[in-house]
Amino acid sequence: MGAPTRGLLDALHSPLNVRSLHLRNRFALAPMTREMSPTGIPVAENAEHYRARAAGGVALIITEGTYVGGEASGHKVTVPHLTDPAADGWRKVVDAVHAEGSAIVPQLWHVGALRGTASPLNPGVPPQSPSGLDLDGRPLGEPLTTAEIDAVVASFAEAAALARRIGFDGVELHGAHGYLLDEFLWHRTNQREDRYGNRTVLPTEIVKAVRGAVGDDLAIVFRFSQWKADHYTERIAETPHDLESLLVPLVDAGVDVLHASTRRHWLPEFPEDDPTLSLAGWAKRLTGAHVITVGSVGVDTEFRGAGAAAEKVPVVIRESLEERLELLAEQFDAGEFDVVALGRALIADPAWVEKVRDGGLERVVPFDRTRHTLSGT
């Protein structure tokens, strides 16, 4: 695969402590939906999957999206839940990861309008969304009532409290990719005329409720993005000021770590304001919070889906893998992020972190879509 990488990412092997998160290095497993939990309850395969990545050197495991309570929160039968029936299954996962010396947080998820009208999970239950609109702004179902919003807030708090009881080291709230919390943050899908028309009100209410449910010491991570599922050019913020107005209230409400989900971590987010600063870098500059970066780290192709064709960008990443790892190290040295999450690289090779640390990039198993299947959350 090219030049040795020994020492290249040494700085990322320093420890980090954020409230209840005690990390031996700065590498995380990104959340990726696998649909490997029959009936929504984690099984032995799930525990082994996460344990293997922890054993391979990953300090922070972020689970795939886990549905919070409520019949409309999810859309697929084999995606895990974080409700009482799944608690014993999750304890086995947590114990397996802790035995390898790593921390683990569940990603709490409500899919919102992306549930659609033909979901196999709880068929016949309509989708929930801020304004009864899909990601194209077309009518889909009915807007959430205030009572339904209260129930959603409670479902996140209940899932977070359960996560603490199970033994998780924190929680991540999924506020990205066009799912429910992101639908409130995005002007196209949030057309409400009540107080929830203020795009940060519902997400900050959920953060506050989660903080109240887990106490002062448990870490809260919030994943956000500009892009949406199959809408890769969409944005919640056109300027740094827009981004600041969305992220600062979340941090003020209790978020400790912002997880800036991008598809290419090396690209500048607002090049007219700063020619090099990434989305993660802007999140850190604007809020002072700890930040996770992510986006095609350690792989030769960008994350792509059905909506990528409209972007008119090359499928193959132009820079070599070594050059992008050098850039990643430079971004870390510049203080743009605190933790880097890897997705497909760790699906293909659970020992990616250890191999790269030891200079063995040529020994890394490369991601191959024909052999390694997943979908991002």
Structure tokens, 256:
């400790």
**What whole-number distance in Å separates Cα of residue 295 and Cα of residue 261?**
7
Answer whether 257's CB lies under 8 Å from 220's CB: yes
Q: Is 128 left (phi over 0), alpha (psi -120 to 50) or beta?
A: beta
Using DSSP bridges, classify how beta strands 16-18 and 21-23 pair: parallel, antiparallel or unpaired: antiparallel
CB neighbourhood size of 7 (10 A)? 11
Answer whether 110's CB lies under 8 Å from 176's CB: no
**What whole-number distance in Å separates Cα of residue 114 and Cα of residue 180?**
8
**What whole-number distance in Å separates Cα of residue 334 and Cα of residue 167?**
34
67 catalytic? Reply is no
Using DSSP bridges, classify how beta strands 27-29 and 103-109 pair: parallel, antiparallel or unpaired: unpaired
- Residue in 50, 67, 179, 232 annotated catalytic: 179
Active-site residue list: 179
